[in-house]
Amino acid sequence: MSKTTLSAGQAAAKRCFDFVVAFSGLIVTWWLILLAWLAATIDTRSNGFFIQKRVGKNGKIFRVVKIKTMRPVAAFDTTVTRRGDPRITPLGAFFRRTKIDELPQLWNVLLGEMSFVGPRPDVPGYADKLKGEERAMLSIRPGITGPATLKYRNEEELLAAQNDPEAYNREVIWPDKVQVNLEYIRNWSLRRDIRYILNTVFH
């Protein structure tokens, strides 16, 4: 089994790719991000940017930025989102379906807090609790997409079918995501990263 880490050269190539593509992406999509922010501000009657603390590389906490797609609902307090979640607005559902809500994360990538491909950044309580070899998942920047994200692209529907979505996420989905992400690190290549990005955009 290969070592669960990226070499210095691999890490540099990944970061260079991220910076160039994120910078180009922001130049091309800034107007769409602005329009989506304005629409979400009106739709949710609050700041159209969703900003939340997430666990990043080496366990460092950072603030992820997305377009807001939810409104608060009384007595509905969970970080797990499932299909039919009453907090998701109709416009928010459109932003999620088209991935427009993810565009502000280009800024996180540009700053070096995220990568285009890697483990999804989770709220504290998951990645920061990893132990042993599994902590290798924190050796790389979290990603906008990745193999685990693609495998569970229908995660909201899957959770909606469970009696206890939070327990199922914690006991079944999360452990599997960890193993998928460790395998991604062991077999990393820039070509695979590009393939994951294309699969995310066009599927």
Copy the structure tokens of residue 73: 């609902």
User: What's the CA gap between 103 and 26, in Å, rounded?
Assistant: 8
User: What's the CA gap between 47 and 42, in Å, rounded?
Assistant: 9
Mean pLDDT over 110-122 rounds to 96
Who has greater pLDDT, 132 or 41? 41
pLDDT of residue 1: 44
Residue 10, SS3 per DSSP: helix
Question: Which stretches of 82-196 are assigned E, i.e. beta strand?
Answer: 115-117, 143-145
pTM for this prediction = 0.89
Who has greater pLDDT, 165 or 10? 10
Q: What is the pLDDT of residues 129-172, one digit of tens each?
A: 888 889 999 999 999 999 999 999 888 888 888 888 889 998 99
Copy the structure tokens of residue 100: 């427009």
User: What's the CA gap between 13 and 178, in Å, rounded?
Assistant: 23
Q: What is the pLDDT of residues 65-89, one digit of tens each?
A: 999 999 887 666 666 676 667 889 9
